[in-house]
Amino acid sequence: MKTAITYGTFDMFHIGHLNIIRRIREHCDRLIVAVSTDEFNAGKGKKAFIPFEDRVEIVKACRYVDKVIPETSWEQKREDILREKADIFVIGDDWKGKFDHLSDICSVMYLSRTPGVSSTMLRKIRASAPDE
């Protein structure tokens, strides 16, 4: 039983989010996703459009996801990996190299991002869209 863990905001859930979750699931039997809380995002200088509770429900509903936990700090990854007995930490290659320090307790994998789509872009489109 191989467990993978990944982290993210998953705001305005889009094909880039689905692609990476689906691809991670090809490397494991169990996938845990840590979703950034609104407070943690504020620390990242990010303001998600979709509230944390809804982002959690949407990720939970994804067929490739077995468990969702909150991401409340940068430092929790090591503790999460040990608690969940995760074998692989996986994240998009926009973070390449940033989490190599976790390689003493699990494999660290960076997967290529899906080009042409981002939550930021979708938020901008939504902001400029006329109210329906």
* Residue closest to 58 by CA, chosen among 47, 48, 45: 48
CB 70 within 8 A of CB 35: yes
Measured between alpha carbons, how far is 73 from 82 in angstroms, rounded to an integer?
16
44 among known catalytic residues: yes
Q: Is 76 in the site for ligand C2G (CB under 6 A)?
A: no
Q: Is 71 in the site for ligand C2G (CB under 6 A)?
A: yes
> Cβ of residue 132: shortest distance to ligand C2G, in angstroms?
25
Q: What character string, x for contact with ligand C2G (CB under 6 A) and - otherwise, covers 86-105?
A: -----xx-x-----------
> Cβ of residue 86: shortest distance to ligand C2G, in angstroms?
14
67 among known catalytic residues: no
For residue 6, give every residue at least 6 positions away whose Cβ sits within 8 Å of its Cβ, in sequence order, or none. 20, 21, 24, 31, 32, 33, 34, 89, 90, 91
Question: Residues in the site for ligand C2G, rule: CB under 6 A?
Answer: 7-11, 16-17, 20, 36, 71, 91-92, 94, 113-114, 117-119
Give me the active site residues, please: 44, 46
